[in-house]
Amino acid sequence: MIMMQRIAVLGATGSIGDSTLSILAAQPHNYEVYALSGYQRLDKLFALCQQFAPQRVCVPMTAVDDFAQRLSDAGLHIDVVGGAAGLIDIATDSQTDTVVAAIVGAAGLSSTLAAARAGKRILLANKEALVMAGQVMIEAVKTHHATLLPIDSEHNAIFQCLPASIQQDNTQIHNQRHGVRKLWLTASGGPFLNQSFAHMQQAGVAEAIKHPNWSMGQKISVDSATMMNKGLELIEACHLFDLPEDKINVVIHPQSIIHSMVEYSDGSFLAQLGSPDMKTPIAHALSYPERIESGSQPLDLYELSHLEFIKPDLQKFACLRLARQAMQAGAQATIVLNAANEMAVAAFLAGQVRLTDIADINEQALSEIPVARLSTAADIEDILAIDATARRYTDAIIAKMA
């Protein structure tokens, strides 16, 4: 039986927010939409406030007064808070049971970490929280008895394929009786899987964000096109499942039916299959350890003609190689890589650089920024300081390249 949960959806106007709220709307007896946040699409956030009538909402600091007036004029009595402090306030609110961490990029780090330190149940879609602050996040979850459940389809698939003892304590993966040999992250290959590198060099934004299987925001779609998304997921998996990067493989699976696999020492592979719909992993995490209806289209096994598995081309998709290198180098390097990539993607979306320049910018950042001399990533202040340094260096790299 599922106990009633009050849910805060941070990043409610994005694709993860859409999927989460569609499930919550269909399960009013199990879940209450307690709080929402949005950043750019405030008209959409206003419509969500009208639909769900949350008790709290967070908007950019500059929009607080106007948004509060708009809600009041519509007869909605909702507490409006602003900026990063507002997100943290909602994430740590005593009335918040579950935080859906769906804010894209470094902007979602502080509130996700705050939720962990407040002992909340966290449904994690913001992979940057672990890419930038993996050790800090995991320690906060354990110290404050929070619950961390991945809703990226790949990590959720691995989670489902692991023994219950590992689901409850990731350090148990090292216990030999569990027999985990490797984890396998599947990747669709994105829109350029069957295109040449020369074609990628000329690709525009519209082509880069047109994912063949998934409906996602612009940033994550570009990351999928360069396979940086899979690189970030590899780093995230190292922290979530307490394994070194050489125990995690990436395989391209264009059909996006198998969402990831666990390889065991006896030769068994356990895989989680499903339609390419984010509602499935979100519903699993919302109801864990129970199961609820997700609203996703059931997989029709009779319609599956074939399943392909392809080894990634690390020259064409250099970002995946760079992610492994950064994970091997340590926490400072993963922070630098994430910062550089966010800026490089933004520059591509703004028409300043080519799609293939993203990997070059990331590689320059890793090689030129003096990672060894940066402070240790021991807490949020250190992490944000390294992030800021990396962004300044990367801004200069982009300016030269543009």
Report helix angle 357-368 to 318-329, nearest 10: 20
Q: Is 293 exposed, middle or buried (0-12, 13-18, 19+ CB in 10 A)?
A: exposed
What pLDDT score was predicted for residue 1? 66
What pLDDT score was predicted for residue 215? 66
**CB count in 10 Å sphere of residue 187:** 25
Rounded CA-CA distance 134/138 in Å is 6
Domains of the chain: 5-150 (3.40.50.720), 172-275+301-401 (1.10.1740.10)
**H-helix or E-strand spanning residue 329:** helix 318-329
Dig out the tokens for 71 from the structure. 């809600």
Residues in the chain with pLDDT values less than 70: 1, 214-215, 372
Rounded CA-CA distance 376/191 in Å is 37
What's this model's pTM, rounded to 2 decimal places? 0.94
What pLDDT score was predicted for residue 214? 66
With CA atoms as reference, report the closest residue to 103 among 189, 34, 20: 20
Q: Which string of DSSP letters, residue by residue, matches 106-134?
A: GGGHHHHHHHHHTT-EEEE--THHHHHHH
What pLDDT score was predicted for residue 128? 84
Rounded CA-CA distance 234/249 in Å is 8
With CA atoms as reference, report the closest residue to 48 among 69, 74, 83: 74
Per-residue model confidence as pLDDT tens digits over 355-402: 999 999 999 999 999 876 777 777 888 899 999 999 999 999 999 987
